[in-house]
Every structure is written in structure tokens, then in C-alpha cells.
Structure 1
Amino acid sequence: PAELPKATLKVQLWDFKRFSEHEPLGELQLPLGTVDLQHVLESWYQLGPPGTTERPT
């Protein structure tokens, strides 16, 4: 779709804790306009500090 290059993929890494609150470990945002979507993306990205996001359930 035409909107895809303007979208941003947000990746969050969480530490799952069964008996206490889950803990955010880091996140990154990847603007899809910078990615060649015709090919498989095999890259490493540095996680930044966790932002103020909703906690997963």
C-alpha cells in the first residue's frame, strides 16, 4: 500500500515475569521508508531505552 513507506515498525523487548510486573528491556523504531521491502532484511539494530508504551498483556 501507498501508506507503508510512511509507516514505522516499532519493536519492543520485554522480560516476562509470571508472578510480577513485566519489565521493558528496550525498543527500536524502524521507518519502513528506509527498508527495501522487496528483499529479506537481515540486520542487527541497537535497542534504545524503553519508552512510555503500554505494557503487553
Structure 2
Amino acid sequence: MYLLRCNKKIEEYTFEDDEVSEVKYVLYKDLEKIVEEKAEGLLIHKEEFEKLFQYIRSL
């Protein structure tokens, strides 16, 4: 997972097929909900997500 903050439009990003398997744009509040609901296919690393959300809230 990468956290990126910039002014690019989603359409401006390019990814190599052999480098990235999936990309999804989500607002952090939506990601919090996805993690909370333990969405299928998401590896839950509770401590890491807590640190991530704490950092995002501090911005």
C-alpha cells in the first residue's frame, strides 16, 4: 500500500503491468470502513492501519 498526496488526476497515472497488480483510488474515510469491515481480499494488519489512519488525521 502506498499513500500519495498530489494534484494529479487519476487518469494521469500510468503503471506497468508487471509492477502493479491492482490500483484503487479511495478516500481515507472509505478505507477506514473497508478495513473495519474486513473486506474480502484485504490483508488486515491492524497496527499498520492504525498508524496509517493516525498519520492521515494529523495532516
Interval containing the TM-score (normalised by the shorter chain): under 0.3
More helix per residue: 1 or 2? 2
Bigger radius of gyration among the two: 1
